[in-house]
Amino acid sequence: MTQSENTFSLLALCARAQGHPTQYQQLRQQAATLILWNSLPAQAESHGLAPLVYAHLQAAGVAMPADVQQQLQARAMQHSHANRVRAKALAEVLAAFQSAKIDALALKGAALAQLVYPQPGLRPMRDVDLLVSKLQTRQAQSLLVELGFNAPLPGDDLPAKHLPNAQRETEGLPVSIELHHNLYTGGAPAAEFEALCQRAIPFTVEGVTAYTLGHEDMLEHIYQHLRVNLLLDSLRLIWVADLVSLAEGYAGEIDWQRVSPRLRHALALCHWLTPLSEALRQTAPLKLGRPPQGIGANVGLEFQGWPRYSLAARRHKGYAAILRDTFFPAEWWLRFYYGLPSAPSPKFRIDPAWWWGRWARHPLHILGWVRHYFRHRAKI
């Protein structure tokens, strides 16, 4: 295993809110093989994991070089302060919305930091995402302007999913609010705002009662967010931490019958990054199957073909390699993106779901992107 693979494996083991003995044992073993410690803080930060890496290495009793420990501790303290500032701003916005009778649901990190993580500062945030009804979107954005945010007001037609970020500076830090009126581009019957509100659960932020998606809806939202980024962008392990931590933290309260099989298959794949607790594996229930091939150094976790990379950016590899990367992605990526069950042995793959995903569903999906690309080009 290369040093880059060692570093990534150590980061992946820290992609969870709560630790457990098996994880800490693996973490100590992985840390014992790590040579390039100096790159760890920057890589942890890029994955949104710096506070979690610091907390888990401390809890596992891992001895770190003094400068690495200082850097991780400093980043953890910075995120803790930033999250307190953003939590106060969120509470202010939600209180104003409630006074104006605007219903809002906090999404992703804004809610998970309070609900799932032992301390909110363990879950770094870039933006605060809020979901409001389409009918109240303009009113909500106007209210943000009244609260001092630089918030561009929408025209007659709303964007497909969310408005441009509303930004202001608070206590010397940038605070960004992103108003969504759809959970997903184009919407979906299961994502109608009224239905989501009926299943919403409360939590408290800075003394203000807030609401977020029900556990099953939040799991699906995190998974869909991960899928989009797995095709078009780089994987950030904090999203894996969100998925795993929510599932483990509320395993006994989640109605697993409402959780789609593809999401359960994807969740099971996370075990090969950070070991899932026995309680979750039994309650969900999850079938782990065999380890997927080629997930070292993050290579097998990310899509290497088109449309993530332009043909010009990959021309140096040759067109045969471009076609292979595009139509025959790595096993972990394919299984996670399409929610496929564990594949059979590499020497004897006869599972129909695996064959359909590998040889039909993914190629057809790529061809759909090709059609979309040429339609877009025709309009330019």
Q: Of 190, 213, 236, which residue sits at a domain end?
A: 213
**Is 196 part of a structural domain of the chain?**
yes
Burial label, 204 (beta-carbon count in 10 A; 0-12, 13-18, 19+): exposed
**pLDDT attached to residue 233:** 87
Q: Of 183, 213, 243, which residue sits at a domain end?
A: 213
Evaluated on CA atoms 56, 59, 65, 68, the torsion sign reads positive
Instruction: Tell me, yes or no, whether 185 and 306 share the same domain.
Output: no
**Is 89 part of a structural domain of the chain?**
no
**pLDDT attached to residue 353:** 81
Residue written as tokens 């309009």?
Answer: 379
Range of the domain at 115: 94-213
**pLDDT attached to residue 299:** 62
**pLDDT attached to residue 291:** 86
Number of domains in the chain: 2
Instruction: Tell me, yes or no, whether 151 and 272 share the same domain.
Output: no
One-character DSSP codes across 233-279: S---HHHHHHHHHHHHHTTTTS-GGGS-HHHHHHHHHGGGTSPPPHH
Instruction: Tell me, yes or no, whether 320 and 171 share the same domain.
Output: no
**pLDDT attached to residue 185:** 75
Helix (H), strand (E) at residue 105 = strand 104-106
**Is 181 part of a structural domain of the chain?**
yes
Classified as helix, coil or strand, 122 is: helix
**pLDDT attached to residue 158:** 86
**pLDDT attached to residue 203:** 97
Instruction: Tell me, yes or no, whether 374 and 290 share the same domain.
Output: yes
Cis peptide before 118 (omega within 30 of 0): no
**pLDDT attached to residue 294:** 67
Instruction: Tell me, yes or no, whether 234 and 177 share the same domain.
Output: no
**pLDDT attached to residue 156:** 79
**Is 6 part of a structural domain of the chain?**
no
**Is 72 part of a structural domain of the chain?**
no
Comparing C-alpha atoms, which of 117, 267, 108 is closest to residue 177? Answer: 108
Instruction: Tell me, yes or no, whether 129 and 174 share the same domain.
Output: yes
Instruction: Tell me, yes or no, whether 255 and 298 share the same domain.
Output: yes
**Is 307 part of a structural domain of the chain?**
yes
Q: Of 165, 186, 213, which residue sits at a domain end?
A: 213
**pLDDT attached to residue 378:** 73
- pLDDT in single tens digits along all 380 residues of the chain: 566 778 999 999 999 999 999 999 999 999 999 888 999 999 999 999 999 999 999 999 999 999 999 999 999 999 999 999 999 999 999 999 999 999 999 999 999 999 999 999 999 998 999 999 999 999 999 999 999 999 888 887 888 888 999 999 999 999 999 999 988 876 565 678 889 999 999 999 999 999 999 999 999 999 999 998 888 888 899 999 999 999 999 999 999 999 999 999 999 999 999 999 999 999 999 999 888 876 765 667 889 999 999 888 888 989 899 999 999 998 899 999 999 987 655 554 567 888 888 899 999 999 998 888 788 677 66
**Is 151 part of a structural domain of the chain?**
yes
Instruction: Tell me, yes or no, whether 112 and 247 share the same domain.
Output: no
Instruction: Extract the tokens encoding 280.
Output: 């979750």
Instruction: Tell me, yes or no, whether 317 and 200 share the same domain.
Output: no
**pLDDT attached to residue 352:** 81
Instruction: Tell me, yes or no, whether 250 and 379 share the same domain.
Output: yes
Specify the CATH number for the domain of residue 99: 3.30.460
- Largest Cα span, the chain: 63
**pLDDT attached to residue 347:** 52
**Is 9 part of a structural domain of the chain?**
no
Instruction: Tell me, yes or no, whether 138 and 115 share the same domain.
Output: yes
